[in-house]
């Protein structure tokens, strides 16, 4: 059995790894995974281990509760995240305001054109003012210390641990010098203060954490959007024939439910009364409406387009196909190994190593008789030089600038994981309806026994009173040709087949082959089957004597789609078309776009299987889609790319969203991700170069070799080196605004 839990208190990949390790140790656990973005834990076991799982998670310092109702838990999680994000924003504002004041107090004396309220000439107020301004920053940023120190104690250091160690060293040594100033024992102690460094580190990292939390909050919206497909209430027909509106959660198998035009089917079931057509495109990918009659199955979340029908509930609650799709999205998200922040991975080794070097430096200088002050100075200098400003900024600054560049290009990238994963793509899986095609039926072929203009004018007159998508395709084609027409009289819909209408006192039939057979109208079956084999949906117009002609309706390919596929191929990226539509329609679009590999009539689970097969072949796969039926595939793929005009669930589940119906954003996003990853690697290189050079010098290596005390790095110079490394990293990241993508 697969059990889901909501986890609270996680802040980074090291936290989720701690939860996984704790749960995996439990007897009976077959597999487990933590989704840091949605804060969910998935545990597979032969029996219910809820009590043991909750105890294990609590023991390592986090909260856990079983998810009984996905819909209720999603709502509670959303409320909790919104409340926390609001509180984090208040704390961030406090930190940024006081950090700015602290920097001004520390640096104003260096700029003669600024008023200088305090200066090193008066060491006591200079030191105390900085201490007073730092205290509020430490208070609002206390979470870093709580999490970082806890992780250190449990021997699983993370980025918070590095921040805690570095800023405590900065604060501690500055406080020591402040005491020396107050005692009048160190005349130049004010030169070694770096309260401002500690304050800026906390404020900048809080800003990064806030932006990360906002991005994480978006990941839960895919499931919420799927849940909103089903209506909140349904109209149940009681045993006495009266109708009563009840909550969908109250529906049981066997209930008879009235569905009116424009309404959504609340659960899975079968039509028992009436005829209609249903829009299932958001669930199955079928571009055309599906006709429903007594005995036809209907799926919860699909839309009833015209007729009023009665359905019998067969599957309710968590047993419906929509609920299964929701579980697929959640499990697909949870099964993905989270791409841990590079800095978090580094800090797992870097923090203990730096701590050992600092302790070793202090101990060695004490043993050789250099004195307590020199030993303390070298130990603290090591910690300050290793403070994670450059390392912490290396990845997020490049990601933020890269995302901003993408937004200007019409490519909205939701998080750093999506941006990083896109650079490795070598297989693009494309949906058809609404992705490669416009998603709106249009007349593309006309075969008639009379002139096309005359035929279309008559056809449009008959179809004008109808709201059916195929009828609108005919009238739009007439408008496109500039053919005048008047709505027919005596209109009557024949549900599932077409319509009858009167024009000029004469009766006409407009619809598919079943309508022609119903009224005994002869038509050219060879032409009909030929159009069908080419991927068209064929509708005909006939009078009481003969068929007047046929119109081939299709979902047309988007402008520029073939060029995008060609460009992807030139970049070494393979393309596939995987759609819920039929073989003919899929083959037609694939041929026009230049795609060789096609999978048709694919259900949501089939799309998941196809993506899994691609990944098993070692292909880094991106899914491009726009419908609800693509949501699980978008979550399962290495990179999910959604068309901006698509369904809410698809937009929420994808890591990258393209504005409107643009397809060239696919290539833009891949090129941008490659450029951003190059900058990230460069930033990490420079950050490490700085640490590799700075730490030995801070530990006193040059002093030990030469004996020259001037080569002993002071904490103040360590802070300066830290600042210079940060400027280098930021400047390199800002290049992403202007570099040419190629």
Residues with a catalytic annotation lie at 431
Tokens of 527: 């032409």
Pairwise CA distance, residues 469 & 560, whole Å: 25
Phi, psi torsion values for 296, nearest 5 degrees: -75, 140
Q: Read out DSSP for 136-160?
A: HHHHHTHHHHHHHHHHHHTT---HH
Pairwise CA distance, residues 299 & 714, whole Å: 71
Label residues 477-508 b or e (16+ Cβ within 10 Å = b): bbeeeebebeebeeeebbbbbbbbbebeeebb
How large is the angle between the packed helices 159-183 and 715-734, nearest 10 degrees? 140
Q: How far is CA 430 from CA 564, 624, 627, 630, in A?
A: 12, 5, 12, 10
- DSSP three-state, residue 256: strand
Pairwise CA distance, residues 718 & 186, whole Å: 20
Phi, psi torsion values for 557, nearest 5 degrees: -70, 145
Label residues 6-18 b or e (16+ Cβ within 10 Å = b): bbebbbbbbbbbb
Pairwise CA distance, residues 304 & 12, whole Å: 45
Q: Where are the alpha helices (DSSP H) in 369-485?
A: 372-385, 389-408, 416-422, 452-463, 469-481
Do 548 and 521 touch, CB atoms closer than 8 A?
Answer: no
- DSSP three-state, residue 42: strand
Phi, psi torsion values for 603, nearest 5 degrees: -80, 170
Strands 303-304 and 276-279: antiparallel
By CB neighbour count within 10 A (0-12 exposed, 13-18 middle, 19+ buried), where does 469 fall? middle
Neighbouring-strand partners of residue 391: none
Q: How far is CA 222 from CA 67, 284, 302, in A?
A: 17, 17, 17
Phi, psi torsion values for 265, nearest 5 degrees: -70, 125
């Amino acid at each position: 059995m697969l059990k889901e839990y909501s986890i609270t208190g996680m802040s980074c990949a090291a936290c989720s790894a701690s939860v996984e390790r704790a749960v995996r140790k439990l007897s009976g656990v077959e597999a487990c995974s933590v989704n840091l973005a949605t804060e969910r834990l998935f545990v597979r076991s032969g029996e219910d281990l809820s009590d043991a799982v909750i105890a294990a998670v609590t023991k390592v310092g986090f909260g856990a509760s079983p998810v009984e109702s996905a819909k209720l838990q999603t709502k509670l999680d959303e409320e909790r995240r919104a409340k926390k994000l609001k509180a984090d924003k208040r704390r961030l504002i406090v930190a940024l305001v006081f950090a700015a004041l602290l920097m001004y107090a520390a640096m104003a004396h260096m700029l003669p054109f600024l008023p200088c309220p305090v200066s090193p000439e008066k060491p006591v107020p200079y030191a105390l003012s900085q201490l007073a301004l730092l205290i509020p920053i430490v208070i609002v940023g206390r979470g870093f210390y709580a999490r970082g120190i806890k992780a250190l104690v449990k021997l699983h250091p993370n980025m918070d641990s590095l921040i805690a160690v570095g800023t405590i060293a900065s604060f501690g040594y500055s406080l020591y010098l402040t005491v020396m100033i107050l005692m009048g024992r160190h005349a130049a102690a004010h030169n070694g203060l770096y309260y401002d460094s500690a304050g800026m580190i906390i404020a900048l990292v809080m800003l990064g954490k806030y932006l990360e939390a906002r991005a994480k909050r978006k990941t839960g919206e895919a499931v919420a959007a799927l849940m909103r497909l089903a209506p909140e209430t349904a109209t149940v027909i009681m045993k006495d024939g009266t109708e009563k509106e009840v909550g969908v959660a109250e529906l049981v198998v066997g209930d008879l439910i009235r569905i009116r035009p424009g309404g959504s089917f609340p659960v899975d079931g079968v039509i028992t009364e009436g005829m209609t057509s249903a829009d299932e495109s958001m669930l199955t990918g079928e571009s055309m409406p599906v006709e429903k009659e007594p005995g036809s199955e209907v799926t919860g979340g699909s839309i009833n387009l015209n007729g009023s029908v009665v359905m019998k509930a067969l599957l309710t609650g968590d047993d419906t196909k929509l609920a299964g799709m929701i579980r697929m999205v959640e499990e697909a998200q949870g099964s993905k190994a989270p791409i841990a922040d590079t800095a978090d991975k580094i800090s797992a080794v870097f923090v203990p190593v730096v701590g050992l070097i600092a302790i070793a430096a202090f101990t060695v200088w004490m043993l050789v008789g250099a004195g307590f002050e020199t030993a303390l100075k070298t130990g603290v200098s090591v910690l300050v030089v290793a403070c994670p400003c450059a390392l912490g900024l290396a990845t997020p600054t490049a990601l933020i600038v890269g995302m901003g560049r993408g937004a200007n290009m019409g490519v909205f990238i939701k998080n750093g994981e999506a941006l990083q994963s896109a650079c490795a793509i070598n297989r693009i899986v494309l949906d058809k309806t609404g992705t490669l095609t416009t998603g709106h039926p249009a007349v593309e072929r006309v075969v008639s026994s009379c002139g096309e203009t005359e035929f279309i004018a008559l056809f449009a007159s008959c179809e004008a009173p109808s709201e059916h998508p195929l009828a609108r395709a005919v009238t739009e084609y007439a408008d496109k040709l500039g053919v005048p027409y008047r709505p027919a009289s005596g209109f009557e819909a024949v549900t599932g087949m077409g319509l009858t209408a009167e024009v000029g006192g004469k009766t006409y039939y407009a619809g598919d082959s079943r309508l022609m057979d119903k009224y005994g109208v002869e038509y050219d079956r060879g032409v009909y089957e030929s159009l069908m084999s080419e991927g068209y949906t064929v509708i005909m117009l006939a009078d009481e004597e003969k068929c007047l002609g046929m119109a081939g309706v299709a979902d047309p390919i988007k402008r520029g789609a073939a060029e995008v596929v060609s460009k992807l191929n030139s970049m070494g990226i393979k393309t596939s078309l995987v759609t819920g539509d039929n073989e003919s329609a899929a083959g037609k679009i694939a041929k026009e776009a230049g795609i060789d590999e096609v999978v048709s009539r694919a259900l949501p689970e089939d799309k998941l299987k196809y993506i899994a097969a691609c990944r098993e072949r070692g292909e880094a796969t991106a899914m491009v889609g726009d419908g609800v039926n693509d949501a699980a595939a978008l979550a399962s793929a290495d990179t999910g790319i959604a068309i901006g005009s698509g369904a809410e669930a698809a937009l929420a589940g994808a890591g990258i969203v393209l504005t409107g119906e643009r397809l060239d954003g696919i290539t833009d996003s891949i090129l941008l991700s490659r450029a951003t990853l190059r900058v990230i690697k460069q930033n990490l290189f420079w950050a490490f170069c700085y640490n590799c050079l700075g730490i030995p010098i801070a530990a006193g290596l040059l002093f030990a070799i030469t004996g020259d005390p001037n080569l002993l790095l002071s904490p103040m110079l360590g802070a300066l080196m830290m600042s210079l490394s940060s400027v280098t990293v930021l400047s390199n990241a800002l290049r992403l605004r202007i570099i040419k993508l190629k």
